[in-house]
A = this chain, B = another copy of it.
């Protein structure tokens, strides 16, 4: 998984909004199981249509995947994609700074 400049800009843009960053963080915490759209809406007290727009932006940026299960739709973080974003940012921004690997294993 590799991100080019345009893909990175799109991902940053998607995360560059308070509501979307909240959604993303919530889904990260949910892990590989993901969350139903309704569950996200309940957690964040957001109108369904507003949430759908934001989810669509996150999906478009490649950060989130969705899968239908009956009537419900599961959203989950694409960890490969978001890890690629970390790598992009890390390589781009912290030249000369050796980072310690992340120990926060969920």
Q: Which residues of A contact B (CB under 8 A)?
A: 5-6, 8-18, 21-22, 24-25, 28-29, 31, 77, 79, 82-83, 85-87, 89-106
Chain copies in the assembled complex = 2
Complex: A41 Cα to B104 Cα, angstroms = 41
Whether the pair B101, A93 counts as a contact (CB closer than 8 A) is no
Whether the pair A9, B17 counts as a contact (CB closer than 8 A) is yes
Residues in B neighbouring A5, C-beta threshold 8 A = 18, 21-22, 25
Whether the pair B98, A101 counts as a contact (CB closer than 8 A) is yes
Complex: A21 Cα to B92 Cα, angstroms = 10
Of the candidates B12, B28, B91, the one whose C-beta lies within 8 Å of that of A93 is B28
15 contacts between A and B (CB under 8 A): A5-B25, A8-B15, A9-B16, A10-B16, A12-B13, A12-B15, A12-B21, A25-B92, A31-B96, A79-B93, A85-B93, A86-B86, A86-B90, A96-B106, A98-B103
